[in-house]
Every structure is written in structure tokens, then in C-alpha cells.
A and B are shown apart, each in its own frame.
Chain A
């Protein structure tokens, strides 16, 4: 049996395709990002080793700080909106007595399965200053909020965050619902017998027990927000001005528009470190042993 499951040829045959592809396409590029960030390189000609100069330049680049700020705003908005609404919906849908819970569950999740391009195009149309749905809606209610949501530098980043929050809320909702359902009924019953209100029981029992799920949701929302790219690329091209730049957008522009691959790699390397730090902080904040029932 030992020999049977230790068949060297079989092991090699089984692991090699996946291992090779993963190493070349995923792992090696991560190392390349860090390595290339130390060079002055346009992607074509000879690279010149300049050590940390790209990082120095990055820390003196005002667009870098704009990008950091925008990513942070974007990440915080989507995290707060998605997790708050996701929690409320998950608690409601978990109730057996709620009417139309299946309808709510399905409709809330639908945007998740749509392509981000479709979603962005759709919202571009809805935000449109002239004939957009949102301005029309204000008109119907007789309010004069009519404006160009995406070309106004004060509203643009919020408008983008709203789209992302809207699209992926369902994902967080599904995660939280799965979490709520996995909590044994007996806990709620005990709270009920002790006279706790529904609200209180959720606050004191359900939410603390969802620690692991919240941790994952937070990491997902924050790293997703910091890496945000498609929303900006499709809907605003980083504009107006640089008011919707993110680090990923900055990296993309450096490398593929201006031809500064080394500088772009430095932005990417910084992004990796940033995401790691955020993940560590969240892990630290919600440090708890997984609950076993």
C-alpha cells in the first residue's frame, strides 16, 4: 500500500502541470514585481539598476498620495456599506417568518454574477447628467440635485464606490447568511428564554459568533478596495483630474500608457505590502480562536 500510494511517476504526472503553470504565471511574476521595481526600465530596452530610486520618486509623487487617499476612501465606503447592509439582510433573511426571503436572497445576489463591464456601462448610463436615470428620479420627486455625478470632482469617487458597493453587497450578504445559518438554534433560544430582545440577541450573540466571517469580509472589502481598478478604468479613467486615481490605476498608467515599467512595478510592490499590512491589522483586531460547536 505504501508503495502503491508512493508511486513516484504517478506523483510527478499528477503535480507537474499545475505546479509548472502556477509557478511561471502566478508565483514568478510576484517576484518579478519586486525585482523590477529596482530598475529604470521601459519594458523594451536594457534595464538600469537604480535600487530604491523608484520608491523615492513614489514617495515624492503627489499622485501617489492622491491614489492612496482615494483607495482608502473607496475601501472604507464599500466595507461599511457592504457589511452593514449585508448583516441586516442576513439577519432578516435567516428568519423563517420573513415573507419573500427567497426573493430577497436571489435579487440581492444577482449583481454579483454580472460582468463588471456590464455593471459599469449600466451605471454610466444611470449617472449621465443629461438623460441619466438618477437625475430623472430627482426630477420626478421635484428635487434639484441634477448634476454630472462622474465629472464632478467632489462626487466622482463616491459615485464609483456606490457602484462597487452595490455590485458586491450580495457576496458579503451570502457569506454572512451562511455564517448566521451555521450558528446552532439553541443559542438564540437560550437568549430568548433569558428575556433578551431580538436586537440584543443578535448584538450579543450572533455578531460575536460571526467573528471569523467578519474578518474575512473586512479583508475582502479592504484589499478589494485598495486594488480597485476596473470601476475607475471604465467609468472615469481616473478623472476628473486625478480625483479617482487608485494605486492600481496609477501602476497601469505608468506601465502601459507612459512606458515606465520600473516605476509601475514599484507601485505594484507597494500595493502588495499595503494589502499585507491591512490583512495583518484586521487579523490582529479580530483575533479569536475559531468557534467549534
Chain B
């Protein structure tokens, strides 16, 4: 059996062209974050900067609210990851392994949430947050972000818990461990790989979330990066380099995450297809 060869140079070239097309805008953004207006518009719009103007980053960091936005994004994303995963893992264990009558129904009920697009419930969500007096606080973002990630996270953890042999719990029970002890010391370490996957998944979702933040946050001091960047176009018409720098800073965490764990990131995002379809 000969190895199958990809013998079409034309399609090969097209594929390479597409790959370049998909990464060029990003390259262009990073390049212009190091240029001045003159170079961006007139002298050198396409290529690498002739002179690296790192002062753009300094301008972005000091003159605009980038540190504030960045801090808010970190707070919101980290708290969301911690709580949505904790709640989901507990829930998943109870429906996957513990014996009670309604476990199947409750699991299905939770799964329905995956089919609800955020946009659809924007209006009631806004009213709800107002009625709970959470509007314009960190919680107004964190609470919905946690809730929105629960359905999918529980489903993934559920799958993992189901694949663990029941002997382990039996052994722990015989050794006299409480159910809590069994959960934390025996079961939780076993599903570590899926927890890592979900950390990436939820972090990306929370870091990049836009519609809810746009609708619920109007206070400057609470804006997350996607929201803060929205108003840059107007503010920065005079200084494109600094705007590019701010956008690069905003993309850095997710880009780094992807560069370091590309395979896990892709897995984390595609794992949904197995269950959602």
C-alpha cells in the first residue's frame, strides 16, 4: 500500500493562500500597532513597520483605560471559570453517579440550556438584573456568564463521570470515606483532563463575550475589553497606532493561550459537536 499523496499543486497553493488570508489581518493589526499614522495610511500600509514604535503600547496603556478594561476582563473571566466549573462538576456528579429518582429528567432539563441563544433572552435578562439590583456591578456579567456555561460544562463532566468504573466508589465506601471525601479525593482528580478542557472553553467564552456586556454595562469603570475597544474608533481617530496596540493587548491572552495549547483549545471548542448535534 503506497501512502496516498496530495498531488495537486494548484489546490496546495490555494490552501496556502487561504491560510495567509486568514492570518494576514491579524498580522496587519500587530504591524500597525507599531507604526505611526503616516506609515499606516500612506508610506507602508501592508508590510512590517520600518521602525518599531513601542511607544504606541505605552500610549495605549497610559492614556486610555486599557489597564482598567484588562483588570475587569481578568476578574470577570476568572470568577466565571471558577464558579461555573465548580457548580457544573458538582451537578454532573450528582446526576451521573448518585442514585435518585429525578436525575434523568433534571439532566435533560439542564441540557435544554445549550439551545438557548444569548440574544433571545437579552430583554428578560436585562429586566432581571435590574430587579435584582445587580445592574452596573461585576455580578451583572458574572452571574449570566456562569449560568450560560453550566449546560455545556455539566454535559461534558457527565460524560467523563460515566466513564469512571463504579468499583472506585465502592472501594472508597468500604474504606469508610464519606461521599464528600470520595468526590473530592477520588472522583475529582480522575476527571482532571476534562476540567482543563473546560477551563479553556469557559475562559475564551467569558473573555470575548460581547452582547451581554454591551447591554448591561454602561459604567466606564466596569467595562471589559470587548466593550472598551468598541469606543476606540471614535476616540482614537488621531492615533491609529495606539488603537492597534490596545487591540493587540486585548487579544494577547487568547492568542497566547492558543499558541501554547493549540490542540487543547481546538478540542475544547470542538468537543461540543459530539454532544450538541
Contacts and interface: CB of A to CB of B under 8 A. Distances in A.
B29 A15 contact: no
B62 interface: no
Nearest to A170: B22
Nearest to B114: A26
B265 A19 contact: no
Interface in A161-198: 166, 169-171, 174-175, 178, 188-189, 192, 198
Nearest to A23: B109
A245 interface: no
Interface string B223-256: 0011101101100000010010001001100110
A153 to B, nearest CB: 21
B34 interface: no
A118 B15 contact: no
A265 interface: yes
Contact of A22 (B150, B254, B266): B150
Contacts of B227: 117
Nearest to A25: B147
A103 interface: yes
B262 interface: yes
A30 B23 contact: no
Contacts of A131: 40-41, 45
B12 A268 contact: no
Interface stretch (B52-60, B87-95, B190-198): B87-95
B28 to A, nearest CB: 7
A92 interface: yes
Contacts of B170: 1
A115 B173 contact: no
B239 to A, nearest CB: 13
Interface stretch (A5-13, A57-65, A141-149): A5-13
Interface string A220-247: 0001000101100110000000000000
Interface in B18-52: 18-23, 25-26, 28-29, 40-41, 45-46
Interface in B78-130: 86-88, 90-91, 93-95, 97-100, 106, 109-110, 112-113, 115-117, 119-128
B186 interface: no
A100 B16 contact: yes
B261 to A, nearest CB: 11
Interface string A75-109: 00000000001001100100111111001111111
A292 interface: no
Chain A interface size band reads 35 or more
A215 B277 contact: yes
A104 B17 CA distance: 10
Contacts of A116: 208, 210, 226
A293 interface: no
A252 B25 contact: no
Contacts of B199: none
B179 interface: yes
B217 interface: no
B3 interface: yes
A112 interface: yes
A80 to B, nearest CB: 15
B66 interface: no
B179 A10 contact: yes
Given A6-B99, A27-B113, A227-B117, A115 B22 contact: no
Q: Among A17, A121, A219, which residue has the most Cβ atoms of chain B within 10 A?
A: A121
A256 interface: yes
A113 interface: yes
B100 to A, nearest CB: 5
B87 A21 contact: yes
Contacts of A104: 15-16, 19
A36 B124 contact: yes
A133 B116 CA distance: 37
A159 interface: no
B273 A213 contact: yes
Given A26-B116, A29-B121, A108-B18, A43 B127 contact: yes
Given A7-B98, A14-B94, A95-B6, A25 B273 contact: no
B143 interface: yes
A111 interface: yes
A80 B26 CA distance: 24
A106 B14 CA distance: 16
A26 B147 contact: yes
B70 interface: no
Interface in A257-277: 261, 264-265, 268, 271-272, 275
Contacts of B150: 18, 21-22, 26
29 contacts: A7-B98, A18-B90, A18-B110, A22-B151, A24-B147, A27-B109, A88-B15, A97-B4, A98-B15, A109-B262, A109-B266, A110-B23, A113-B204, A116-B208, A116-B226, A117-B226, A118-B29, A118-B226, A118-B250, A121-B232, A166-B25, A174-B269, A175-B273, A189-B1, A212-B277, A216-B273, A268-B123, A275-B117, A279-B115
Q: Which 8 A-B pairs have the closest CB atoms?
A: A25-B147, A29-B124, A216-B277, A32-B124, A14-B94, A18-B91, A29-B121, A107-B23
